[in-house]
Every structure is written in structure tokens, then in C-alpha cells.
Amino acid sequence: MDWLAVKKSMKARGIELRGGGADEAPECYKKLEEVLAYHAGTIEVVHRLRPIGVAMAAPDMYDPYKD
């Protein structure tokens, strides 16, 4: 994954990234459509949220919630 390209893409889509790292990039997650397909017939999707920001502690910051 090209982390710089991911950050540029997020910015172009109007998503602001504060802290966090490459492990939070959308490319690191399963495709929502594929996951929902496995649940077909058992759920009703009413609304999908669109991210407007990601706020996480930077690697050099103390994070009391980190594993």
C-alpha cells in the first residue's frame, strides 16, 4: 500500500486525518459490500455512514486506550 497516496486520496475526498497510521487506511479493511453480502437476508441496511474525519493518537503520542 502506498501510504502517501492513501492520505492524498482521503484528503481529495474531504476526509481529514489526524494521527493514526497506515493500518487505518481503507485498503486495510474488508470491502463493506462483500461483508454485507454474507449477511444477505438477515439484515436490512437503513443507512451508511460516510467518514468525515479520523482522529487518533499519533505514533509518538501517549494513548491510554492503545492495546
Task: Tell me the per-residue pLDDT of 22-49, one tens digit each, with 9 for 90 and over.
Answer: 777 777 788 889 999 999 999 999 998 8
Domain of 49 in residue numbering reads as 3-55
The total domain count for the chain is: 1
pLDDT attached to residue 67: 62
Higher per-residue confidence, 15 vs 23:
15
64 belongs to a structural domain: no
- pLDDT of 15 > 90? The answer is no
Q: By C-alpha distance, which of 30, 24, 31, 22 is closest to 1?
A: 22
Please say whether the beta carbons of 54 and 9 come within 8 A: no
